[in-house]
Amino acid sequence: MTLDTQISCLAAPVSGLEIIEQINAGKIGPDEAFAGFADAYDSKEDTLSCFVSADYSKAAERAGNGPLRGLPVGIKDILETNDFPTRHGSPIYANHVPLGDASAVALARKAGGAIVGKTVTTEFAYFTPRGTKNPWNPEYSPGGSSSGSAAGVAAGMFPYAIGSQTGGSVIRPASYCGVAGYKPTYGLIPTQGAKPFSHSLDTLGVFAATVPDCAFFASMLTERELESPQAPTPPVIGFCPTSQWEHVSEEMRDAMDTAMEKARAAGATVVEHDLPSIFMRAVEAHSVIQNYEAVRALAWEWANHRDKLSHKLVETLEESETISPESYDAARRVAKAARLALSGVFQNVDVLLTPSSEGHAPKDLASTGTPTFNKLWTLMGTPCVNVPGLFATNGMPLGVQIVGAAMTDRQTLQASAWLEKALAE
Amino acid sequence: MTLDTQISCLAAPVSGLEIIEQINAGKIGPDEAFAGFADAYDSKEDTLSCFVSADYSKAAERAGNGPLRGLPVGIKDILETNDFPTRHGSPIYANHVPLGDASAVALARKAGGAIVGKTVTTEFAYFTPRGTKNPWNPEYSPGGSSSGSAAGVAAGMFPYAIGSQTGGSVIRPASYCGVAGYKPTYGLIPTQGAKPFSHSLDTLGVFAATVPDCAFFASMLTERELESPQAPTPPVIGFCPTSQWEHVSEEMRDAMDTAMEKARAAGATVVEHDLPSIFMRAVEAHSVIQNYEAVRALAWEWANHRDKLSHKLVETLEESETISPESYDAARRVAKAARLALSGVFQNVDVLLTPSSEGHAPKDLASTGTPTFNKLWTLMGTPCVNVPGLFATNGMPLGVQIVGAAMTDRQTLQASAWLEKALAE
């Protein structure tokens, strides 16, 4: 790490599980714990712009005695909240205050989380960034679309955040911001009250300092038991370069090598695992499905407020209008065939290991990077975890990704936590 | 038909296609055509209560030159509209005016439809009725949950309406109200901006006077070509009593016999077609999936406004809370297996024929009837059409249902239109 990046580094993710352990042991009070996060917000928000709107002063809300113990939670600003405006990253919704909460927000409150604000999202969770900076170095992008949720966890402003992924909007920013990110099996966290972009791809996910923290928080939102003790035996890991390997940076290749070495050293079996050729077509199918659905999901905005959409989104939706129902149906059939083929892949390995992103975050605040290594898995509906712990020579984080079979979220998180520990050795 | 029901019959569905033909031929002007529907509204709404809110005076909106020629369209009040309140049949949303339109509403406007108001829905499209009466006899239920959409088409207040089906909320009210109803393949009409109840079942559908009218209107909402010329050859129809046959009324049994006789007389092949045993489990799976998802879709209302929910809904959601994720996952697996088995069924027949409802509408305004013959097909995601044209001895309509394979909507509508014509012979 160079001196320059050390000076500007505002990254300091905090594990909620550790804090809750301290609270439960009587070492600190919930208010004191909360204040630590509020301090991070006070001192860093001006530089990082993680929030669209925030309020750390709502003490009453924190009285809840749920498992989250009143700790702050950040909510991506495409999820409705009845106490904060919900702007979807778009001027069309500048004054929009919904009547109720999105289901995932209601579940977070029920679990004793204190919603401290709405985190920055790109426009409708697509590509156009809205000013958030990377806590590891504010000259770098935090990634997108869940920019503020990932950056806020990385900066220690809140231990838990909700995001969403349609292309790579959970795993990519988690990789860039050096935090754990978890995109569950499609549909596992209820999406009601989240602004749709592509209904068959949109998946809610979570950010936290560590993989076990993700499992803990996601258990509240899915109302499923996703936590598990340390894995009894090391996993069988399939290294999966995918057809996109040519896009991987030198440093990410090194990171993948390191991850495999450390996994082997800790006892895992790592085998290279190629994907059947249908998966190359599936990557293309993702864009067809996403864009066909997006122009319909945004039918009202498209008909009435085209002038308030970004150039990039207008360009995409204009192209979307030319996609025929036949092309869309064909893309859906490819996706279905690939999902079927994928169940065969998981007969030989417990999980797949693949990069979370092409490389570290771009040094360009006008970009949020590309979802090269995420789109396929979003389309497959499989659980994905960004495992943090590795870094490029410039000090920026490099995340590696664990992918599991659909509905094996608990095992996927367990293998990811195992790897996270192995990387720290 | 007895004298009593003749006196109170307010049913007079009007085919939009016929009106548009007259407009295009210069026989009547669009304003004149619109006025006919407005007159029906003026004279019948007080008796029938099809609307939550209505405004037939918005002439400007009708200036559109789309294929719908400014004809009035009714929108079930679970779809967001930016010019009418959207109450979801619940006092919780009494003052709720959304910022934008649901996608399906935006698409109806784009096609030149004039949204004249929000039609009565049961509470959150579940069971608790909100006062609409059946135009064939106001002492009878119009069915639910799309009560106002079905009754309004039957009364000639609008030629086209949007509804939704999670159990049997399109096909059942269409059957009771003697109009054509079409529930497309799951997902074909975009659902964004419709209040979710059970996301993997909720399906938008349409009502109109005739099956070809449904195909015409649904083509606008799906942006797919669903209209077709008269079928070249009569269909092969599988008569499908299902495991629920014991619930069918004597008069509906007669109606099914009549339908088969008339179909055969018109040249169709009709064979009895039993379903594999997995379908009995699928019927049970429907309720598990629906209720598990509903308590999550309504997480905010459940946490904050339980006192404003109906007794029936509270009872259901309390029970829903006891459904384990394991039971839900198992129910989803049953549904998947049944969908797979169904593709085998359609290798032998073009479409299935089954009752739309147990019998005619109940003479009980506190009930909307039961979705006995609808739940299975909603779960299967297959296109379903209520074919009107038959009646009970008391003058109330009895609908028969055509079910096609998923994604064969055009052929299913074609076969249904064929049957509709055969029933009229």
Average the pLDDT over B179-183 and give the result: 98
**Where is average pLDDT lowest: A148-157, B2-11, B35-44?**
B2-11
Q: Which of A224, A293, A299 sits opposite B325 (nearest CB)?
A: A224
Residue B63 has pLDDT above 60, yes or no: no
Tokens 């050390």 locate to A6
Neighbours of A188 (CB within 10 A): 24
CA distance B107 to chain A (A): 7
Contact check, Cβ <8 Å, A296/B187? no
> Chain B contacts of A329, Cβ < 8 Å?
407
pLDDT of residue B3: 44
Contact pairs from chain A to chain B, CB under 8 Å: 92
> And the tokens for B289?
């999936």
Catalytic residue set of B: 76, 145, 169
In three-state secondary structure terms, B190 is coil
Of A146, A169, A198, A219, the catalytic one is: A169
Q: Which of A90, A296, A320, A407 is the best residue to mutate to test the B interface, defined by the most B CB atoms within 10 Å of its own CB?
A: A296
List of E strands, A123-267: 160-165, 180-183, 203-208, 236-239
Q: For the whole model, what pTM was predicted?
A: 0.96
> And the tokens for A376?
């396929």
CATH, domain range A3-230: 3.90.1300.10
> Chain A contacts of B115, Cβ < 8 Å?
none
Q: Is-contact B47 B7, C-beta < 8 A? A: no
CA distance A369 to chain B (A): 28
Average the pLDDT over B341-359 and give the result: 94
Residue ranges of domains in chain B: 3-230
CA distance B324 to chain A (A): 9
Residue A287 preceded by cis peptide, ω within 30: no
Neighbours of A333 (CB within 10 A): 12
Contact check, Cβ <8 Å, A107/B299? yes
Contact check, Cβ <8 Å, B106/A300? yes
- Output b/e per residue, A85-96; b: 16+ Cβ within 10 A: ebbbbbebbeee
Residue B73 has pLDDT above 50, yes or no: yes
Nearest CA in chain A to B105: A300
pLDDT tens for A173-184 read 999 999 999 999
Tell me which residue of A366, A403, A313, A295 sits closest to A147, measured CA to CA: A366
Contact check, Cβ <8 Å, B103/A304? no
**How far apart are the C-alpha atoms of B262 and A255, rounded to whole Å?**
72
Neighbours of B15 (CB within 10 A): 16
pLDDT of residue A59: 56
Average the pLDDT over B298-318 and give the result: 97
Neighbours of A132 (CB within 10 A): 31
Q: Which of B96, B192, B299 sits opposite A196 (nearest CB)?
A: B192
Residue B145 preceded by cis peptide, ω within 30: yes
pLDDT of residue B229: 85
In three-state secondary structure terms, A164 is strand
**How far apart are the C-alpha atoms of B386 and B136, rounded to whole Å?**
17
Helices vs. strands in chain B: H and E counts, helices first: 14, 11
Average per-residue pLDDT for chain B: 94
A327 carries an active-site annotation: no
Tokens 């509403």 locate to B105
Residue B2 has pLDDT above 50, yes or no: no
For residue A194, what is the DSSP state?
Answer: B
CA distance A226 to chain B (A): 12
pLDDT of residue A2: 46
Question: In this structure, are strands B236-239 and B269-272 parallel, antiparallel, or unpaired?
Answer: parallel
> And the tokens for B266?
């018109």
Residue B267 has pLDDT above 90, yes or no: yes
pLDDT of residue A415: 97
The ranges of chain A with pLDDT < 70 are 1-7, 59-64
Neighbours of A318 (CB within 10 A): 12
Contact check, Cβ <8 Å, A103/B187? no
**Torsion, Cα of A29, A34, A37, A41 (10° steps):** -140
**How far apart are the C-alpha atoms of A262 and A268, rounded to whole Å?**
9
A76 carries an active-site annotation: yes
**How far apart are the C-alpha atoms of A180 and A15, rounded to whole Å?**
10
Nearest CA in chain B to A189: B296
For residue B72, what is the DSSP state?
Answer: E
Contact check, Cβ <8 Å, A99/B105? no
pLDDT of residue B242: 86
Work out the pLDDT band at B139, boundaries 50, 70, 90: very high
Question: In this structure, are strands B180-183 and B384-391 parallel, antiparallel, or unpaired?
Answer: antiparallel
Q: What is the identity of the amino acid at B370?
A: T
**How far apart are the C-alpha atoms of A189 and A107, rounded to whole Å?**
10
**How far apart are the C-alpha atoms of A176 and B79, rounded to whole Å?**
39
In three-state secondary structure terms, B101 is coil
Q: Which of A106, A200, A329 sits opposite B407 (nearest CB)?
A: A329
